[in-house]
Structure 1
Amino acid sequence: MDEIYFAGVEGGATQSTLLISNKNGTIVGRARGDSCNIWLDGIPEVARRIAEMADQAKLEANIPLSIKFKCIGLSLSGCEQDSTNAALEKEIKNSFPNLAENYVVCSDTLGSILTIGSGGIVIIAGTGSNAVLRNPDGDTIQCGGWGHQLGDEGGAWWIAHKGIKTVFDHEDNLQKSTYNVEKTWEVIKNHFNIENRTDMLEHCYAKFQKSFFAKLCHKMSVAAFDGDELCESIFKDAGRLLARMIVALLPKVSSELVLSGHLPILCVGSVWISWELLKQGFTDELHLHKIPFELRLLKLKTGVSPALGSVYMAADFVKFSLQREYEKNYEIFFSYNENDKDVKEL
């Protein structure tokens, strides 16, 4: 059998990753690129970035640039609608006809789930936030994923915006913060290189960049770990909202998915690095609900990208049996069992 290759892309609102797999399931090439969100970047630009990453990964794998992928799986933020997904596929075929023989396009959440198995919940808390349940029969249910104008609760943009809005409301005497705002305000000023609140308007409107806004979140996490109570409280609220997204999906979990007595929940995105700041709010929210099975929070092992699930998806799309060992892709970092209110760090 001639050598064939599959590719998978995990495209976020800040950065993206493309992986190439050979027919044995071995990753032979990878590349990283800019964001691949069709709503923020536009379909033509996303298509160009995907093609650029593909060329970079082929060079790393020592594969001729002329080789077409058997199939490429595109799991991208913003790809929630069949119509826009079809438009992206058409753009790639027209502009880069030698990229792949087959295409499958879906939301970034779905590709992430397939990295750990055939079903479960994935909750993304990166620049934005989104949660999707996939049952073993392929049925999917979404909570969130509506972007910063309509959602993104618990994501990095939301955390950054919450910090800024809290400071502004406090200074306006509109809503006084119960915490000292001085440290958070200093962090904000340093991040945006501003001196006063009026300077902030340019970043909010004329030169608004969602990804740059979201990068404030990391600096707020540093302040929180250093004891800033306002930043701590915002991360606690974020944890509560992320847990609420999971709870919203639980009524749709199929009995087949939890036959083992536990539900796998893959946590993806940079906000989860600050789990210790999220944990209290997260567990406080879970305590408010009766959950009849164990919740297991998973994270991908170091070096494993959600793009791997997109590779699996590409192989499945053309009914190719690609070797995979799911248990090698993730580790459990937290377990919650409502039956005895047992909360375990693993």
Structure 2
Amino acid sequence: MKLFAGIEGGASFSKVMLLDETGRIIHELDQEPSTNIWLIGKKEWARRIDSMISKAFDQAKLPRQTLECLGLCLSGCEVEEQNEELSQFIRSKYPELCLYCKVASDTLGSIMTGSPNGGIVLIAGTGSNSLLFNSDGSCVRCGGWGHLIGDYGSAYWISQRMIRYLIEAEENYNPTSLDTTEGWREVYEHFGITNSMGLLKPLYEEFDKTYLAKLCQRLARLAFEKNDPLSLKVFAEAGEVLADHVVSLLKQTDEDNVPVICVGSVFKSWSLLQESFLKRIGTSTKRIDFRFLTRSSSIGAAFYAAKCAGYDLNINFSKNYIELCCYHNGQLI
């Protein structure tokens, strides 16, 4: 039996999917370590991938065999030349791992999971990124520059944005009429501090992007459960900057119907984002279908690698997402 595997890799964790040649899912892993090569280095990156595949075989109670194809759609893998080098590196380091390996961006794995014939993928998890995949195979990216100069609309960005509002209001640098009490309470509890100066340690000395991004969960609850005005404002702003990715990419496609595959935990708060998001999209004449992925993009990673190697895995893509909304000419339809 020929076996295929895909790995979805982010800055926080990775997911693995093991499939047979009919496209049937044999086993999946949900909470594996990060496979972002810029955070862990090439040797550890390769070791973790081989270890994850071994774990998938073990848990599926299958003897380890060489994969027909392995698709690695990972954060940080944005340059084709470097991706090819990584593919060659891991196959030389672990020659029994697979016959064919394809390394690509995490955005490509997502589009292949929700709309393999093309569209836009918009990722907003710990970080953010987007990619337009045209039906002719051409790709255009927007974002993906990390927390120092990018990650707009991500969980990290939302958390940092709230902290900035709170500090600037406290120091009267950027006064606000919105109540900051609840926001400060969540920040204090999340970081285990009692005053704003306590932020210096987690923001600098012990900086952890993933941990900072987790503050976003608290802020989402604050917006949903207490209708906190400042939290609602931050999520509305996140909707705007996330929409800017889509606006940029829509200008670079001739397609009339454009699926937008939304990926990441931030989109679980779609109701907080939708109004400002769609307002920013404006009156585009293109029909835009917003879809939230409910299955791991490791499926798309496996499918893409198999496709590049000449295989056509039989996957029902409509089962991988739910519809958020459809937008056309400035109207929900």
Superposition TM-score, scaled by structure 1 size: 0.92
* Residue in 2 that maps onto 1:181: 180
Give, in whole Å, the separation in 2 of the partners of 1:164 and 1:87: 40
8 Å contact from structure 2 (residues 5, 67) kept in 1: yes
8 Å contact from structure 2 (residues 36, 76) kept in 1: yes
8 Å contact from structure 1 (residues 8, 19) kept in 2: yes
* Residue in 2 that maps onto 1:122: 121
Give 1:62 shift: 2.2
Residue type of the alignment partner of 2:309: V
2:279 to 277, 280, 284: 284
* Residue in 2 that maps onto 1:314: 305
* Residue in 1 that maps onto 2:324: 333
Secondary structure, aligned partner of 1:248: helix
Residue type of the alignment partner of 2:266: V
Q: Aligned runs of 1:107-146 on 2, under 5 Å?
A: 107-116=105-114, 117-146=116-145
* Residue in 2 that maps onto 1:26: 24
Unaligned runs of 5+ in 1: none
8 Å contact from structure 1 (residues 31, 54) kept in 2: no
Give 1:99 shift: 1.3
Q: Does 1:232 align with 2:232?
A: yes
2:86 to 75, 85, 88: 88
Give, in whole Å, the separation in 2 of the partners of 1:42 and 1:233: 38
8 Å contact from structure 1 (residues 44, 91) kept in 2: no
Secondary structure, aligned partner of 1:97: coil
* Residue in 1 that maps onto 2:48: 49
Give 1:92 shift: 2.1
8 Å contact from structure 1 (residues 296, 335) kept in 2: yes
Give 1:142 shift: 0.5
Q: 1:305 to 1:241 in 2, by over 3 A?
A: same
Residue type of the alignment partner of 1:205: Y
8 Å contact from structure 1 (residues 127, 157) kept in 2: yes
Q: Does 1:36 align with 2:35?
A: yes
* Residue in 2 that maps onto 1:271: 266
Secondary structure, aligned partner of 1:273: helix
Give 1:101 shift: 1.4
Residue type of the alignment partner of 1:37: N
Q: Aligned runs of 1:151-230 on 2, under 5 Å?
A: 151-225=150-224, 226-230=226-230
2:288 to 289, 295, 302: 295
Secondary structure, aligned partner of 1:241: helix
Give, in whole Å, the separation in 2 of the partners of 1:14 and 1:177: 33
Give, in whole Å, the separation in 2 of the partners of 1:263 and 1:113: 12
Secondary structure, aligned partner of 1:136: coil
* Residue in 1 that maps onto 2:66: 68
Give, in whole Å, the separation in 2 of the partners of 1:188 and 1:68: 48
Unaligned runs of 5+ in 2: none
Q: Does 1:10 align with 2:1?
A: no
Give, in whole Å, the separation in 2 of the partners of 1:76 and 1:177: 40
Give 1:87 shift: 4.2
Give 1:165 shift: 1.0
How many residues align? The count is: 330
1:2-60 deviation per Cα after TM superposition (whole angstroms, max 9, x unaligned): x1111101111111101011011101011230222112232222222222211111112
Residue type of the alignment partner of 1:63: L
Residue type of the alignment partner of 1:291: S
Secondary structure, aligned partner of 1:101: strand
Residue type of the alignment partner of 1:271: V
Give, in whole Å, the separation in 1 of the partners of 2:165 and 2:151: 17
Give, in whole Å, the separation in 2 of the partners of 1:219 and 1:83: 40
* Residue in 1 that maps onto 2:241: 241
Give 1:90 shift: 4.0
8 Å contact from structure 1 (residues 85, 106) kept in 2: yes
Superposition TM-score, scaled by structure 2 size: 0.95
Q: What percentage of residue pairs aligned between the two structures are identical?
A: 37
* Residue in 2 that maps onto 1:100: 98
Give, in whole Å, the separation in 2 of the partners of 1:11 and 1:135: 23
Range that drifts further, 138-147 or 33-42: 33-42
Secondary structure, aligned partner of 1:8: strand
8 Å contact from structure 1 (residues 189, 195) kept in 2: yes
Range that drifts further, 153-162 or 322-331: 322-331
State the 4+ residue runs in structure 1 displaced beyond 4 angstroms: none
